[in-house]
Amino acid sequence: MSEIELVCTELGPALDLVRSSGLRLDVIYPADSPHTAILSKAGSTVRLTTQPGAALSDELPPFKPEFVLTRAGEGASEGRAGMLYRDLIPSRLGGRYIASHISIPEGGPVSDWVHYHRVRFQMIYVRSGWVRVVYEGQGEPFVMESGDLVLQPPEIRHRVLESSPGLEVVEVGCPALHPTFADHEMELPDARQDGARTFSGQRFLRHVASQTAWTPFLAGEAQETGIHDATGGLAQVRTILTGFASLTFPPGAGELVFGFVLGGHAALEGRGKHSLGPADAFVIPPGEPWTIAGASGDFRLLQVTTATLD
């Protein structure tokens, strides 16, 4: 098998040109701002890249905690399958985590394909709009709406089919740099349906907000998602509802403590006092308490935490 590397200045146009010659896309990374793609045809492989020498590692990058505050409106770039990605953790916490605010402004069919990711943890949460997706072993395609969530266990095959105009989702994953592999052989939906199947110790989870009750959480309420059980204790995800003047969170005992403002306004007290508005995001270093104060009545917060992964 022959293999060559082609260096380009822009991956998108170069990728379209190479694919027009009959090569098929096998791997692309990273999803939020791709710089490398691997294609093949008749025993020949082409590595197309804007970063020659850039290589993936099977080792989990070391976790580097820090306080992060990302404001809404900060620039988005075109990522995989034409989706727009806004980076919510620019430092990637040493390469350990990535969080993206992803949107599809126009809606309609999505130019996606059956694929999978080599990850330790990955979840998708719908902030607004709807998206139709299909997953390996999970039956027919289904629609996710605002407040819904899926846990994508490592290497589960899936595909995004279509979306409403103005779809917005929040994606959190580990590690930050991970490849997306095309599966040219699998067709979805597939015949197998097994909700108990595990992928690297995790099982697929679909959380439907409209079918989930609000339960007491600290001094407020929350919708729990079941991700703690589905990941074997690796992560926890919840939607938090206000109804309190002030809510103080205990220090994180693991690694990631991530928040995304789904709507409303409040103040974040932690490493100073910071105003929060819709689509703002933050990361609190583990071991540090933090408080949400002065929340408006429509304030909603997505909270994602993880255990220590090493």
Residues 20, 146: one domain? no
Bridging pattern class, strands 2-7 and 44-49: parallel
DSSP line for the chain: -EEEEEE-S-HHHHHHHHHHTT-EEEEEE-SSS--EEEEEETTEEEEEESSTT----SSPPPP----EEE-TT--EEE-GGG-EEEES-TTGGGGT-EEEEEEESS-EE----SEEE--SEEEEEEEES-EEEEETTB-S-EEE-TT-EEE--TT--EEEEEE-TTEEEEEEEESSS--EEE-SS--SS-S-B-TT-EETTEE-EEE-GGG---EEETTEEEEE-SHHHHTTSSEEEEEEE--SSEEEEPPPSSS-EEEEEEES-EEEESSSEEEE-TT-EEE--TT--EEEES--TT-EEEEEEE----
Are residues 26 and 99 located together in one domain of the fold?
no
Backbone angles phi, psi at 193, to 5 degrees: -135, 110
Number of domains, the chain: 3
Closest CA to 19 of 32, 33, 31, 6: 6
| Structure confidence at residue 194 (pLDDT) | 80
Q: Are residues 35 and 96 in the same domain?
A: no
Query: Residue 124: what pLDDT?
Result: 98
For residue 168, list its beta bridge partners.
Answer: 103, 128
The amino acid at 305 = T
Indicate whether 73 and 182 sit together in one domain.
Answer: yes
pLDDT tens per residue, range 174-209: 999 999 999 999 999 998 888 789 999 999 999 999
The CATH number of residue 16's host domain is 3.30.720.120
CATH code, 267:
2.60.120.10
110 and 189 part of one domain: yes
pTM of the complete model: 0.94
119 inside domain? yes
Residues 215 and 294 reside in one and the same domain: yes
Write the CB contacts of 113 (distance below 8 Å, at least 6 apart in sequence).
Answer: 25, 159, 182
The predicted structure's pLDDT at residue 1 = 56
Within-domain flag for 58? no
Where in the sequence is the domain holding 167, given as residue range(s)? Answer: 68-207
Residue 55 belongs to a domain: no
Establish if 32 belongs to a structural domain: yes
From 156, 174, 207, give the residue that closes a domain: 207
> Which is nearest to 124 in space by CA: 149, 155, 107?
149
Q: What is the rounded CA–CA span in Å between residue 55 and residue 64? A: 21
Q: Please state, rounded to an integer, the average pLDDT across all residues of the chain.
A: 92
State which of 156, 176, 207 marks the end of a domain: 207
Question: Are 201 and 281 part of one and the same domain?
Answer: no
Q: In the Cβ-directed half-sphere of 271, how many Cα atoms lie within 13 Å?
A: 11
Does 221 lie in the same domain as 201? no
In a domain, 56, yes or no: no
Considering the domain architecture, whether residues 99 and 166 belong to the same structural domain is answered as yes
Query: Is residue 187 located within the same domain as residue 234?
Result: no
Per the domain annotation, does 24 fall within a domain?
A: yes
Report residues of the chain scoring pLDDT below 50: none
> What integer pLDDT is reported at residue 218 of this predicted model?
86
Judge whether 93 lies within some domain.
yes
* Number of other CB atoms surrounding residue 232 within 10 Å: 13
Cα–Cα distance, 161 to 109 (Å, whole number): 6
The answer to whether position 61 is within a domain reads no
Same domain, 134 and 178: yes
**Could you tell me if 162 and 221 lie in one domain?**
no
